[in-house]
Amino acid sequence: DADVTQTPRNRITKTGKRIMLECSQTKGHDRMYWYRQDPGLGLRLIYYSFDVKDINKGEISDGYSVSRQAQAKFSLSLESAIPNQTALYFCATSDLVAGGTDTQYFGPGTRLTVL
């Protein structure tokens, strides 16, 4: 079973629509992240959360919002989708273990197309 799941896996929507992407994890990690991947640009950070009460903007947060409903759930919303938000979206989790490396583990991704 996957430790980090994302729903939906694929979504097509229209300009102006509100859409929510969901992420759930069973790894017990405190930290969760949302990234966006565009062709030729690698992944870029949208938002991150270190616990339920801690939400922070990343590099490209404009046009997005997030909600950390529980330790295991972190949702990304596009309030009014626009075509340049067409991309592959990844959720990631991590847990800083004392003396260890804060390694991030990724979900399978959601491919979003905005028409």
The residue ranges that bind other proteins (CB under 8 A) are: 31, 33, 35, 40-45, 48, 56, 58-59, 88, 90, 92, 94, 96, 101-106, 108-109, 111
For other proteins, give the closer residue by CB, 63 or 109.
109
Residue 96 or 115 with smaller CB distance to other proteins = 96
Q: With contact defined as beta carbons under 8 Å apart, do 38 and 114 qualify?
A: no
Q: Calculate the alpha carbon distances from 110 to 12, 25, 49 in Å.
A: 11, 15, 19
Q: How far is the CB of 6 from other proteins (least distance, A)?
A: 11
Name the minimum Å distance from CB 16 to other proteins.
Answer: 27
Nearer to other proteins, 58 or 63 (CB): 58
- Joined together, the tokens standing for residue 78 give 């596009």
- As measured in angstroms, the least distance from the Cβ of 104 to other proteins is 6
Query: How many residues make up the chain in this entry?
Result: 115
First-to-last C-alpha distance (Å) of the chain: 33
- Name the minimum Å distance from CB 113 to other proteins: 14
Using the CB atoms, write b or e for 17-26: b if 16+ within 10 Å: eebebbbbbe
Nearer to other proteins, 45 or 52 (CB): 45
- Across the chain, how many H-helices and E-strands are there? 0, 11
